[in-house]
Amino acid sequence: MYIRTIKHTALPLTIAAALLVAGCQDMGPGAHRGDSEVARAAMASEPLSIREMHRIFANRTWIWDEGAGFMNARDRTFIAWTGSEASASYADGTWFMTPRGEMCFRANWGAINGSGMKATCFEHRTDGTQIFQRRRPDGEWYVFANNPVQPDDEINKLRPGDAVFSRYERNRAEVARRTGG
């Protein structure tokens, strides 16, 4: 499967996305306000459309440093896991996109020290040669994908299919065991 977002050039979707990777981030002061080169380029670009974001995230697992989340396209459900044993947590919720180029998860996170609802959004913009991403509301802009996609691009952390469920179930059981619920 391919997306046609950057100058109408196909990007392989087997290469995918992930959360903030230090090598891809512009961590300079004021990067979210437009003070860095990457932030200025992002702010001068256009938001990704809902259709473009759907092509990137639908039915994909986003691999994180200590966990992963799956965005189901059929019913827009979102499940995730992070940590293990005493730091185990899991999430049940939904994912959605906005015309402003945002892809968001709204989920109830369960953990040994409690649970709660949390919404997390990532903003996406493109200048026709790169896709930029930042965590909302005030994360630093970084290059999410180049054209052509580079080996260290953040988009490479998205994998087709659900690679979350077994660890999600394991963490859910661990939280229940440790909390008596």
Owner of token pair 């992963």 = 68
Instruction: Quote the mean pLDDT of the chain.
Output: 85
15 belongs to a structural domain: no
Question: Is the pLDDT confidence value at 131 over 70?
Answer: yes
Query: Does residue 1 form part of some domain?
Result: no
Mean pLDDT of the region 3-17:
31
Residue 7 counted as domain residue: no
What value does the mean pLDDT take over residues 43-57? 97
pLDDT at 11: 31
- Quick one: pLDDT band at residue 35, thresholds 50, 70, 90? confident
Interior/surface letters 15-30, b for 16+ CB within 10 angstroms, e for the rest: bbbbbbbeebbbeeee
pLDDT at 60 over 80: yes
Residue 112 predicted with pLDDT over 70: yes
Establish if 27 belongs to a structural domain. Answer: yes
More confident residue, 96 or 35: 96
Judge whether 127 lies within some domain: yes
pLDDT given at position 125: 98
Number of domains in the chain: 1
Work out the end-to-end distance of the chain between its first and last CA atoms, rounded to an integer number of angstroms.
Answer: 42
Is residue 6 domain-resident?
Answer: no
**The pLDDT value given to residue 99:** 97
Q: Is pTM beyond 0.75 here?
A: yes
For residue 34, what pLDDT band results from cuts at 50, 70 and 90? low
CA angle 107, 97, 92 (to 5 degrees): 15
Q: Does 28 score more than 60 pLDDT? A: no
| Per-residue model confidence (pLDDT) at position 12 | 30
Domain that holds residue 100: 22-179
